[in-house]
Amino acid sequence: MGKVKKKLFLGDQAIAQGAIDAGISGVYAYPGTPSTEITEYIQDSQNARSKGSARSSEAAENSGAEGGKIFCRWCTNEKTAMEAALGSSFAGKRALVCMKHVGLNVCADAFVNSAVTGVNGGLVVLVADDPSMHSSQNEQDSRFYGKFALIPTLEPSTQQEAYDMMRYAFDFSERLGEPVLIRLVTRLAHSRSVVELSDRRGQNPLHYPKNPMDFVLLPAIAKRRYATLCDLQATICEEAEHSGFNRMPDPVDMAQAGENRHWEKGVIACGIAFNYLSEAYPEGFPFPVLKLSQYPVPVHAVRRLAELSDEITVIEDGQPFVEEQLRGILPIKTRIKGRLSGELPRTGELNPDNVRVALGLKPAEIYDKCELVVGRPPALCQGCGHRDVYAALNEVLKEYPNAKVFGDIGCYTLGALPPYRAISSCVDMGASVTMAKGAADAGQFPSVAVIGDSTFTHSGITGLLDAVNSKSNIVIIISDNLTTAMTGGQDSAGTGRLESICKGIGVEQEHVRVVVPLPKNMPEITGIIRDEINYKGVSVIIPRRECIQTAKRKAKNK
Amino acid sequence: MKKDIILCGVGGQGILSIATVIGEAAMANGLHIKQAEVHGMSQRGGDVQSNLRISDGPINSDLIPEGKADLIISMEPMEALRYLPFLGKDGWVISSSVPFINIPNYPDPEKLVQCIDSLPHSVLIDIDTIAKENKIPRSANMVLLGASLDTLGIEYEKIKEAVTKIFGSKGEEVVAANIMAMELGRAKANIK
């Protein structure tokens, strides 16, 4: 046997290497914190097929020697990613699709229906949740989606487990003929630890589903497939009951417990929560614990725990997914504690400190907070083109006290903060265009949208078509920095084609305006904004200047 | 051996390079490591921190509990104080003394210095001036790492090897500049 290979990996990198070693043929994703590093790792690995990113060379792309390499080019959005992954699975290959939690909303249609069609090659949907909203608009818990779609869900607690789960998830997916959902949280995605690697296996050959009609979800077939999916639930539950990822470590005072074997307290710790629990009890647990990393909730294991203890505290990151279900599983006499009962905070991520408090342990003696310390919110970089866009927009809108600017998701969302205070909304990818349109429908004037180039191609294009079709009186500013900047500078799907996309959708040629956002061009930019506000129809203004972070990186690598 | 370290500063100041060096050295020493980082929105000029835990035994939580940090290494004085509730009673604060002022309500720097000086174990060091005077302006973060060397519990030789390995691809000059930076920081901090 060779030496065991060990690597220091972020949770995201452990997932990526796990997927490579499990024999995937493709990774499909749109960048989103905290999931971005998974696809980036695969792109940077030796196993990458033409990545189509700034880092790849034309030569490599055209060499044709790509057999056995992994497809890893960024997708336009999570829906196109999910569907492409399903297509790859249809063709017999293993595919990984990754996204942040809100990306699962974008691809929910494809995701839920992929459970109805079932899969051929293994299909793993990796979703990185962001409890505490470090870089997100909500803290929705993707485990609900797994339950909703009736598919197995895994939740690793360590980087090693994240790595190991990939092989298991692809195997299980192929054995079951269903996609498998893996849920990460920020603190695992972005934390490093040493991971021991296993051998790598090859990719699947191209092969088609035994029954290709399964993928044709006409009602008659969908009914049959849905019934099959429901029949599979017993197998999926049984697998969770016996999963090696779910464990019940013995309490330390087992010997003292004697005949009775009964404790006041019992704990269910889901995913990363198990680490915080272990932190609080370095010598071992003085009560029974169920470590939960594979769902559906294993009913028998939970009942065994309840037989050993009077009350059960559920420690789970995100929403009270398990805590809510326990009510239907356990007798009324068992007290259930967690986020719903108030022992843990209802919102925000878990940490070693709030877990201690929930378990009734004394908080540590600590230094008081220093009163001098003030908040340091993030801000647009000095020299960023978005700054010039907002400066110009604010200058013009001084003349229109009723003006409203609808924002979107990206660095430019920071335009909501001082000194600009320029936008009135930030909801979901692409919503700036459609909210501006809806407000204009309702009589709002001027109605302005500010959206980035990558967000526009992700989900703004269809909204623009709606606006053109209803001749809405809106001004859309596509602030084009030629990259997906917020997540670290990934390729933007429409670079070089934004004008032709807008014109193709039907925006009048003379109302697609391009400017360079620089302080010296301020009169030109404000002039264009003024003109387009006065035009009664759909205008698109494209201020275009390279992201200064990208520009700096390029200069450094020269 | 167990060290819980909070590395902090403002997005873009290079705290992750410090973490990478310590992590590499710890790994070469066969120690266990967990290192939680912040990626995403706050990297745009906001406050950033990394929780680095190294130990000769297994490590549970990716996050350091309150009151448990042995060391706060900060690229900025106010940021050092942001994590005070995490500092253990016997913990060290090793911080750059140079304020990074990108907000209108930045507190009086004098008061920040007083507050850090009042802690039982602290070092404030003007890493920017040291780096500039010695013509290694891009190695200021390694001056800070040097200042913390005698509190880390890892042999200096191992840290040097880590620097050589990590920066090796950027050429010998970069490696030499970073090692010089560490030694200047270590001498300045003068922790016995």
In this structure, the answer to whether residues A391 and A347 fall within a common structural domain is no
> A10: domain CATH number?
3.40.50.970
Residue-number span of the structural domain to which A415 is assigned:
385-554
In this structure, the answer to whether residues A21 and A126 fall within a common structural domain is yes
- Using DSSP's 3-state secondary structure scheme, residue A488 falls into coil
In this structure, the answer to whether residues A502 and A441 fall within a common structural domain is yes
CA–CA separation, B70 vs B152, rounded Å?
A: 9
Count how many domains chain A has.
Answer: 3
Q: How far is CA A541 from CA A399, A513, A520, A531, B181, in A?
A: 19, 5, 18, 11, 49
For residue A380, give the chain B residue with the closest CA. Answer: B44
Of B42, B81, B107, the CB nearest to A378: B42
- Is A93 within a domain? yes
Distance of CA A553 to the CA centre of its chain: 25
> Is a pLDDT exceeding 50 seen at residue A1?
no
- pLDDT-above-70 percentage for chain A: 95
> Class for domain B2-189, per CATH?
alpha beta
In this structure, the answer to whether residues A258 and A351 fall within a common structural domain is yes
Which of A290, A323, A358 is the C-terminal boundary of a domain? A358
> Is a pLDDT exceeding 90 seen at residue B14?
no
Which residues make Cβ contacts (< 8 Å) with residue A397, sequence separation at least 6? Answer: A403, A405, A446, A448
- Is A416 within a domain? yes
A34 and B47 within 8 Å at the Cβ level: the answer is: no
- Using DSSP's 3-state secondary structure scheme, residue B8 falls into strand
Q: Cβ contacts (< 8 Å) between B171 and chain A: which residues?
A: none
Q: What is the pLDDT of residue B45?
A: 83
Is the backbone of residue A335 left (phi > 0), alpha (psi -120 to 50) or beta?
beta
> Is a pLDDT exceeding 80 seen at residue B30?
yes
CA–CA separation, A195 vs A6, rounded Å?
A: 5
Q: Which two tokens stand for residue A17?
A: 């290497």
- Is A477 within a domain? yes
Q: Cβ contacts (< 8 Å) between A8 and chain B: which residues?
A: 23-24, 27, 33
Q: What is the pLDDT of residue A54?
A: 39
List the domain boundaries for chain B.
2-189
For residue B108, give the chain A residue with the closest CA. Answer: A372
Residue B11 pLDDT class (50, 70, 90 cuts):
confident
Smallest CA–CA distance, residue B79 to chain A, in Å, is 8
Q: Which two tokens stand for residue A423?
A: 């936008």
Q: What is the pLDDT of residue A558?
A: 74
- Is A363 within a domain? no
Give one DSSP letter per residue of B116-179, joined into a string: HHTSSSEEEE-HHHHHHHTT-GGGHHHHHHHHHHHHH-S-HHHHHHHHHHHHGGG-HHHHHHHH
Mean pLDDT on A80-103: 98
Question: Looking at this predicted complex, what is its ipTM?
Answer: 0.91
In this structure, the answer to whether residues A198 and A154 fall within a common structural domain is yes
A378 and B43 within 8 Å at the Cβ level: the answer is: yes
The radius of gyration of chain B's CA atoms, rounded to the nearest angstrom, is 16
Start-to-end CA span in chain B (Å) = 19
In this structure, the answer to whether residues A262 and A172 fall within a common structural domain is no
- Is A295 within a domain? yes
Choosing among A194, A367, A550, which should be mutated to test the B contact, i.e. which has the most B CBs within 10 A? A367
Which of A241, A273, A307 is the C-terminal boundary of a domain? A241
In this structure, the answer to whether residues A319 and A202 fall within a common structural domain is no
In this structure, the answer to whether residues A346 and A223 fall within a common structural domain is no
CA–CA separation, B66 vs A282, rounded Å?
A: 16
Burial readout A193-228 (b: 16 or more C-beta within 10 A, e: otherwise): bbbebeeeeebbeeeebeeeebbeeeeebeeebeee
In this structure, the answer to whether residues A189 and A40 fall within a common structural domain is yes
Which of A358, A374, A396 is the C-terminal boundary of a domain? A358
Mean pLDDT on A322-339: 92
Task: Confirm if A347 and A309 have CB atoms less than 8 A apart.
Answer: no
The radius of gyration of chain A's CA atoms, rounded to the nearest angstrom, is 26
Mean pLDDT on A234-262: 87
A378 and B105 within 8 Å at the Cβ level: the answer is: no
- Using DSSP's 3-state secondary structure scheme, residue A410 falls into coil
In this structure, the answer to whether residues A340 and A393 fall within a common structural domain is no
> Is a pLDDT exceeding 60 seen at residue A12?
yes
A376 and B60 within 8 Å at the Cβ level: the answer is: no
Question: Measuring CA to CA, which residue among A276, A279, A301 is closest to residue A290?
Answer: A301
- Is A101 within a domain? yes
User: For chain B, percent helix, then strand, then coil, each to nearest 5?
Assistant: 45, 20, 30
Mean pLDDT on A351-366: 93
Of A37, A279, A372, the CB nearest to B60: A279
Task: Confirm if B116 and B143 have CB atoms less than 8 A apart.
Answer: no
In this structure, the answer to whether residues A106 and A196 fall within a common structural domain is yes
Q: What is the pLDDT of residue A58?
A: 41
Q: What is the pLDDT of residue A257?
A: 63
Task: Confirm if A33 and B40 have CB atoms less than 8 A apart.
Answer: yes
> Is a pLDDT exceeding 90 seen at residue A255?
no
- Using DSSP's 3-state secondary structure scheme, residue B86 falls into helix
Residue A332 pLDDT class (50, 70, 90 cuts):
confident
Does A304 contact chain B (CB < 8 Å)?
no
- Is A379 within a domain? no
Handedness of CA B157, B163, B168, B174 (dihedral sign): negative
> A333: domain CATH number?
3.40.50
Task: Confirm if A185 and A349 have CB atoms less than 8 A apart.
Answer: yes
Residue with structure tokens 């309840």?
A: A306
Burial readout B60-87 (b: 16 or more C-beta within 10 A, e: otherwise): bbbbbbbbbbbbbbbbbbbbbbbbbebb
Q: Which two tokens stand for residue A81?
A: 């990613």
In this structure, the answer to whether residues A150 and A18 fall within a common structural domain is yes
Choosing among B16, B20, B39, which should be mutated to test the A contact, i.e. which has the most A CBs within 10 A? B39
Residue A4 pLDDT class (50, 70, 90 cuts):
confident
- Is A368 within a domain? no
